[in-house]
Chains A and B, each alone.
Chain A
Amino acid sequence: MNSRKLMVATLFLAMFVQGIQAETLQIDGSTTVGPIAEAFAEYFKGIYPDLEISVKKTGSGDGAKALGDNMCDVAAMSRFMKSVEFTKCANKGIMPVAHVVAMDGICIIVHPSNPVKALTTQQVQDIYLGKISNWRQVGGSNLAIVPVSRDTSSGTYETFHGLVMKKKDIASKVEYVNANPQAHARVSGNRGAIAYVGLGFVDKKVKVLSIDGVVPSKRTIVSGVYPVARPLFLFTNGYPKLGSMVHRFVTFHLTEVGQELVEAKKFVPVTDY
């Protein structure tokens, strides 16, 4: 009898304490930034067991909308907010503030046996437009070029389409694969192939081309010298209150663990040392 009373009391107390401590953190947005946010969230769950944290991967546009509607604390976006989105938020009294969590650098890769070492952005664009169809035209051997692209719904495609293709339509003969490892496999298995993958997916089985004379590396990507790279954002409503959970979350990429997690997700951490 007594012990049961004690149990009920403990349970009640536990619920009460939980009610005070339970903090929620909702993240919504880009499928590209999603993996980083998820990795952070996973780590946060470990250190703050009472924190209720959820990550939705809906798309940059949906993230911006959710922030404007006050449906999330952090909006993950692979691009900056468009002026329309920004105005919508501002009209509802929400001031979006951008935090750059990582850089997405995209490497143009070819088969290791390919003698071509460098291309310009224009040449890469012409290859994917179908204007250049043989490696001889860009100083290589007489071999047909097999351009490989990521599927149009991927963030990598979005970056490539914006920065290299300048939003022009890719030729219809271009092949599509739906993951970075597949693009890598296609290039390492075909002497004429060319593809683009995130910096984290590059290894010895493929050769990275320098673009406009710049070899992609963490340094060149973060400093902005390499042309095919973009920042990835987390947006909050105003600058979060210092020390709050939102503040800890959007500054987590500055910590050592945060940077390791960013790198584990094949992105480039924002540092310059």
Chain B
Amino acid sequence: MSSAMNNRAFNLSVKPGGVPYSPLALTPGQDLKGYVFSKLGKATLFLMTCSSVFSVLLIFFFVIRESLIFFEQESLWSAITTHEWYPKSENPRHGMLALLAGSVYVTLASLFFSVPVGIMAAVFLSDLVSFKVRAVVKPVIEILAAIPSVAYGFFAVLVLAPWMQDHWGFSTGTNALNASIILSIMALPTIISVAEDSISSLGPELREASYGLGATRFETLFKVVIPAAHSGIIAAVILGMMRAIGETMVVWMASGNASQIPTPWWDLTQSVRTMTATIAGEMGETEHGSIHYGALFAVGVYLLIITFSLNLVSECFLARAKKAMGKT
């Protein structure tokens, strides 16, 4: 007995009963190799993760650096408070207010369509529908996100625009309304899936307690479930908003690109131009290093500021939603 133990302790290559026996202890070489490889693997993964962080920083750096050509001549404030965008004129003007207004119009109007539909769909998918239907419907909704935006753009220009002219009597079918309808469809999958996740993660206790108190299904959904999931829903809305504000191809094709602020201000049937569309439409052939080039990057800086702050807010709400989930 004791000799067997001794054998085990000192001769690690013993294979009792013919079963392959792998020792727990490692030779120094193996040990070193393991150490080096684990560190190396960690470092590689760290670098890969960093590359995306690094590229974000690079983008910020690059966009801001290129926009300096413009900001040397005009202040951050004066550019955004004038509305005449005539970069190729004899007397070039780079007022971005109309472009900012265009982006805001199109984004807010698209939220006006997509938020109610998105939240209702999320509630329906998480609380009302049978598992079988849900298993079909949810992937189909997510396909919406996979359709390339240029396909949406073609639909906007070739189907929706003429239809609006013929049936609603608009003088032009490519307008703020057209762009925002298309954008709202594009934002739907984001809004639905994030909101649905947060609503269904609430757990049955809350709903059962509400039913137990005698609430109807309607009351439970609208007075208990939706308020309880509000952080996740707000995050969903902001993510949808970012999708809409950052979208380029669709707005370039569908919004008409007139750099004006509609008069009267609520008239969505007029054509507008967004910040993203301006960059996409004019960057291609602008002379490198010219003031126009700098101005386009300045538009990019404003866009970055907007999306960055929206992203921060949504992160904030998502964190809050996670915390709330942890408590229940």
Which one of B86, B162, B257, B271 lies within 8 Å of A189 (CB-CB)?
A: B162
Contact call A186/B281, Cβ cutoff below 8 A:
no
A binding-site residues for B, Cβ under 8 Å: 31, 59, 61-62, 143-144, 146, 151-154, 157, 161, 167, 169, 172-178, 182, 185-186, 189-193
Which one of A59, A151, A182, A193 lies within 8 Å of B287 (CB-CB)?
A: A59
Considering the chains assembled together, what is the distance between the CA atoms of A153 and B174 in angstroms? 21
Known A-B contacts A153-B286, A172-B98, A173-B271; the reply to A190 vs B172 at CB < 8 A is: yes
Least Cβ distance of B313 to chain A in Å?
32
Contact call A152/B282, Cβ cutoff below 8 A:
yes
Contact call A175/B258, Cβ cutoff below 8 A:
yes
Complex interface bits, B59-91 against A, C-beta within 8 A gives 1, otherwise 0: 000000000000000000000000111111110
Which one of B158, B281, B286 lies within 8 Å of A176 (CB-CB)?
A: B281
> Can you list 8 residue pairs at the A/B interface with Cβ under 8 Å?
A31-B285, A144-B171, A151-B282, A153-B281, A153-B282, A172-B84, A172-B260, A175-B172
Least Cβ distance of B208 to chain A in Å?
56
User: Counting CB contacts under 8 A, is B256 at the interface?
Assistant: yes
Considering the chains assembled together, what is the distance between the CA atoms of A144 and B169 in angstroms? 11
Contact call A153/B173, Cβ cutoff below 8 A:
no
Least Cβ distance of B202 to chain A in Å?
47
Contact call B88/A152, Cβ cutoff below 8 A:
yes
User: Counting CB contacts under 8 A, is B157 at the interface?
Assistant: yes
Question: Which B residues are in CB contact (< 8 Å) with A193?
Answer: 172
Contact call B157/A190, Cβ cutoff below 8 A:
no
Question: Which B residues are in CB contact (< 8 Å) with A192?
Answer: 171-172
Across the interface, name the chain B residue whose C-beta is closest to A175: B256
Considering the chains assembled together, what is the distance between the CA atoms of A66 and B39 in angstroms? 53
User: Counting CB contacts under 8 A, is B270 at the interface?
Assistant: yes
Least Cβ distance of A167 to chain B in Å?
5
Residues 199-257 of B contacting A (Cβ, < 8 Å)? 252-253, 256-257
Least Cβ distance of A141 to chain B in Å?
13
Considering the chains assembled together, what is the distance between the CA atoms of A175 and B262 in angstroms? 13
Question: Which A residues are in CB contact (< 8 Å) with B256?
Answer: 175-176
Contact call B88/A172, Cβ cutoff below 8 A:
no
